[in-house]
Chain A
Amino acid sequence: METISRDYAPKGVKFYYIYKALAHPETNGYVTPFTLAERLLHIKEAERKLGSEIPWICDTMENDLKHGLGDAPNSEFIIDPQGKVAVRRAWSNPAELRRDLERFVGAVDKPTTLADLNIKPLEPPAVAKTGIVPRVTLPGPMQALTIQPEMISVEPFYVKLRAEADSNVTKNGTGKLYLGFHLDPLYDVHWNNLAAPLTFEVKAADGTTISPSSGEAPKIEVEADADPREFLLDIEGGRGADSFEVTVKYFACNDQEGWCKPVTQQYTVHLEVDRDGGNARRGQPAARGNRPGRPFAGGRVGNGNQVMGMVFSVDVDSRILTLRTRTGAQREVVVPAEVTIFRDERPAELSDLQRRNRVMIELDGDKKDDQGRPYAKRLMSRSD
């Protein structure tokens, strides 16, 4: 997108990213903002981390843009000078976007490449160790619940609650609840493990049982860390009840500002699916420090089961795909005919893949051919 902007902004085309609710909370440690100010800080973080030059427009806290423009996480639009939709696309596709702009305002002589831009994405800051506190194992897919942080003080929510439930909870009021207390990297805080661990209390409506109704995070041996404190609870008889309250107490420290302090915060958790809550990434590293992602019971897909890289060559006859990985190494993968292939979000054939296409291959367990080449189980590719 940045290269297209570099080429077409001089031709009068305006480019904007629209910041919307997080699609995958927890990725790189980022958590869902509670305030507009925090969303704006996320925009600054995106500019810093990704080195983008395209300006951002921030969605409202009610997610008006997301809802009003199709509710897709990565859609794109071209608006004509009269303010009418000229192109809409559910998933951004830079290659097609460039072709659209060539049609509307003309081609450029020498398209800018990513190498021309010299963008160097930065890692998010890490204020303390991660990967110390084991993540909870979820019983299966969970849905984000709508939460309402109660602004009982001017203290920011250094730690943010994410509440999720299995589908039984929102259907019949009984099932599993996940409460995760995640440090917000915007505030550069870490847990103070020399003080009392985080504690929480849940207050449910009459007729609803949530157990345990209180809890305490494990005592951690190291002085500081930035792992989430997570709890798996049971809720029973919640049908008819529409919410419960959570009070959390913790000690947070900010080394840059030189403070450690106790914090008490409250939430109301509604037993309704938050359609803008996104999906926390599971079964893979969250990529901030060495923090592991939350696993599903029996459903974990470890890093060893995937291969990522760029297409180096494709032998359609023998169905061998050769990749160049990020380390520069070449790796061959067998792609049987029955393997599901997607290219730019659409079903594709192996012959559709082209050199330098980016691919992610989910491998078929430990299955290998007689030359030790692993078999693909599923393949996704992007042409940009």
Chain B
Amino acid sequence: MKSLVSILLGTSLLTTSVALAQSPREAVIQGFDRKAPAVGDELPDLKAYNPAGESIQLGELKGNYTVLVFGCLT
């Protein structure tokens, strides 16, 4: 299976290889383990925007299972 995020990651494999020597990925994972809300925690009700630029709150994401995946253009 190939996903959008995988496409983004796939195009960054070279960078990742260079980065591995410095282990930034491990640092990111350790930081995530420390800082991200834990399983069972309430999702923080943070402000964000929809693609129209309208303000939304993450707390609105209730009522269904919801998948959130971080990504960007690069």
Do A382 and B9 have beta carbons less than 8 Å apart? yes
Partner of A74, one of B5, B24, B37, B65: B5
Q: Which residues of B contact A5 (CB under 8 A)?
A: 67
CB distance from B13 to the nearest CB of A (A): 4
Q: How many residues of A contact B (CB 8 A)?
A: 102
Q: Which chain B residue shows the least CB distance to A303? A: B14
Partner of A81, one of B6, B44, B64: B64
Do B64 and A72 have beta carbons less than 8 Å apart? no
Partner of B74, one of A27, A40, A308, A380: A27
Do B70 and A72 have beta carbons less than 8 Å apart? yes
Interface residues of B: mostly helix, strand, loop or mixed?
mixed
Partner of B14, one of A4, A28, A40, A281: A281
Do A58 and B48 have beta carbons less than 8 Å apart? yes
Query: Contacts A58-B50, A75-B32, A281-B14 given: A95-B65 contact, CB under 8 Å?
Result: no
Does A78 count as interface, using CB distance less than 8 angstroms? yes
Do A40 and B9 have beta carbons less than 8 Å apart? no
Query: Contacts A88-B37, A97-B67 given: A22-B62 contact, CB under 8 Å?
Result: no
Query: Contacts A27-B74, A58-B48, A60-B47 given: A78-B67 contact, CB under 8 Å?
Result: yes
19 contacts between A and B (CB under 8 A): A1-B4, A4-B67, A14-B65, A24-B12, A27-B74, A42-B72, A55-B51, A64-B48, A78-B68, A86-B65, A90-B28, A90-B29, A283-B18, A301-B17, A340-B20, A360-B16, A378-B20, A380-B17, A384-B3
Given contacts A74-B71, A281-B12, A380-B13, 8 further A-B contacts (CB under 8 A): A15-B69, A17-B5, A58-B50, A67-B35, A85-B39, A101-B67, A279-B24, A358-B6
Residues of B within 8 A of A (CB): 1-20, 22, 24-25, 28-29, 31-33, 35-44, 46-53, 56, 58-59, 61-74
